Copies of this chain bind each other. A is one copy, B any other.
Amino acid sequence: MRSIMRVREVLETSLYADDLEAAERFYGGVLGLETIVRVPGRHVFFRCGARVFLVFNPERTLEGGMLPPHGARGPGHVAFAIPEAELDGWRAHLQGHGVEIETDFTWPDGGRSLYFRDPAGNSLELGTPAIWRIPEPDIFAPSTRSS
């Protein structure tokens, strides 16, 4: 007998952007993500903890090829987790980079989120895990990886 099959973890989170150089400057230079793969004009990939964050040019990925086609238009949404203790620092950091805070939201049941846009207009959020009643040690668990 086999137990019910469940996916347990996200491995890749994606957004789309026409200007990948602007995306890389923003995600690398402002959010501090490390680029791991870059195919000019098609995609730029970043490491984010023990997962990856992918930015694709939909013009190219809709063509398909070896892998199935995909590619969305219009503002998508991704939230990154930050420790509550860093939230005010992030607010200052974003503003210091000229990034407008669109909304600074304190959730009635706990947690707080900063909303802003990437250069492509995607809606980004820096949120504390308390939004989803996730204990911080669960999501910021020390990794065995050196990076």
Residues of A within 8 A of B (CB): 2, 4-14, 16, 31-33, 36, 47-54, 56, 58, 61-62, 66-82, 86, 89-90, 93, 102-103, 105, 115, 117, 122-123, 125-127, 129, 131-132, 134-135, 137-141, 143-145
Contacts and interface: CB of A to CB of B under 8 A. Distances in A.
B11 A32 contact: no
Interface-central residue, A7, A67, A82, A103, by most chain B CB under 10 Å:
A7
Given A10-B48, A51-B10, A144-B138, A5 B77 contact: no
29 contacts: A5-B31, A5-B93, A7-B33, A7-B80, A7-B82, A7-B126, A9-B140, A10-B48, A10-B49, A10-B80, A11-B132, A12-B78, A13-B78, A14-B77, A14-B78, A16-B72, A50-B139, A51-B81, A51-B139, A67-B103, A68-B117, A70-B74, A70-B122, A70-B123, A72-B74, A73-B73, A135-B144, A138-B143, A138-B145
B74 A76 contact: no
A115 to B, nearest CB: 5
Contacts of A74: 58, 62, 70-73
A109 to B, nearest CB: 11
Contact of A54 (B7, B32, B77): B77
Contacts of A5: 31-32, 86, 89-90, 93
Contact of A11 (B7, B66, B80): B80
